[in-house]
Homo-oligomer: A and B are copies of this chain.
Amino acid sequence: MSAWFTRLDVTKNCLWASSGVFRRQQFLIRALGGTADQNSAVKMNASEVDAINIIRKITPTLDLSRYKGQAGKIAVIGGCREYTGAPYFAAISALKIGADLSHVFCTKDAAPIIKSYSPELIVHPILEESYSVSDEDKRSTANKVLAEVNKWMERFDCIVVGPGLGRDPFLLDCVSEIMKHARQLNIPLIIDGDGLFLVTNTLDLVSGYPLAVLTPNVNEYKRLVQRVLNCEVNDQEASAQLLSLVKGIGGVTVLRKGKSDLISDGDAVCSVSIFGSPRRCGGQGDILSGSVAVFLSWARHCISAEGDLDTRSMNPTVLGCVAASALLRKAASMAFKNNKRSTLTTDIIECLGRSLEEICPAI
């Protein structure tokens, strides 16, 4: 939220309360209609934001004069011999929320299967794993992979890195180069799943890049904290530790998934706790990463189009995370109501559209 929260000057009777962090956090709460008592803010607990209001502010209106691509072009880098569901979930979720085009860049083995899940996705069988490349061919293969991906890259509003990516060293080397190129082009990067494995081991890939968003689950967060802060996760000081983590990585946004989702870009910390479901079937993180990609693109567009003052004063990565978190939680709650213990990720995806419509009618 860096420069976005400096307008209000709220003085408080404690040392911490007079800090910029506190002021920005208070501004966030007021500006977006959230609730948090002063004490909790002083204690650096996360403030619940009005996520519904944020979704309404950043979701674009639809009209007949728009053309294909204007509501978002998303790419997912993921999908290998082992994993095909995760990149599909991320990419189809982006479309179901309202993006116009959704691409997947995956290995040759994964492509036919991901394509078969849905004709709506554009699936590029481009990535290679070590087992299919001899040592002497690695350099030329890597160059070919990068050239193929790079020729598409400028078209994308946001790139999700990691769903079903796997951990093959050669593949991860190629993905590192793809990330560097995306960064040069100023394209936002959402990092999840095996992308977080890669980033945790090579923090430089995202360090200092304000358009990088990391979306760790419990275990991924644990590894990040161990690696960056050299300690264990402390849930008693969850917000303070998240702030330290973000600062330790440097200039990124982190969405820590949990009972409440905690979001920080190194200034304030906010939480999203509305809705939700007790079902923890695998794949929900992939819906989230695809959703962050869409809402982050919309938030950037909204801000650049000089939307209302509240929104313009905020970091689009945080807006994207808040909106995606709330929408997923609503869709999961709706799907759980219908399917109870048998709720699967595809059931939740089917509820994304209706959830968004209830919050923010299309017309």
**A interface residue numbers (CB < 8 A to B):** 59, 62-71, 81-85, 88-89, 95-98, 100-101, 109, 112-113, 115-125, 217-218, 258-259, 276-284, 336, 339-346, 352-354, 356-357, 361-363
Contact = CB atoms under 8 A, between A and B. Distances in A.
A345 B115 contact: no
Given A116-B116, A341-B357, A342-B356, 17 more contacts: A59-B341, A65-B259, A67-B258, A67-B280, A82-B125, A85-B115, A85-B118, A85-B119, A88-B119, A96-B342, A97-B341, A101-B282, A120-B344, A336-B362, A340-B357, A342-B354, A343-B353
A83 B104 CA distance: 12
Contacts of A85: 115, 118-122
Given A70-B280, A356-B341, A119 B122 contact: no
B67 A122 contact: no
A38 B125 CA distance: 55
Contacts of A66: 278, 280
A277 B69 CA distance: 15
A197 to B, nearest CB: 15
A280 B73 CA distance: 11
Given A68-B217, A122-B282, A280-B70, A344 B116 contact: no
Contacts of A283: 119-120
Contacts of A339: 353
| Chain A facing B: main interface SS | loop
A88 B121 CA distance: 12
A120 B346 contact: yes
A86 to B, nearest CB: 8
B119 A62 contact: no
16 contacts: A67-B217, A67-B218, A68-B282, A71-B280, A81-B125, A95-B342, A96-B344, A101-B281, A117-B119, A118-B346, A119-B283, A278-B362, A278-B363, A340-B353, A342-B356, A343-B353
Contacts of A113: 112, 115-116
A119 B115 CA distance: 11
Contact of A100 (B65, B121, B282, B356): B282
Contact of A361 (B115, B340, B345): B340
A70, A112, A115, most chain B CB atoms within 10 A = A115
B100 A280 contact: yes
B117 A83 contact: no
A276 B64 CA distance: 8
A120 B100 CA distance: 24
Contacts of A82: 122-125
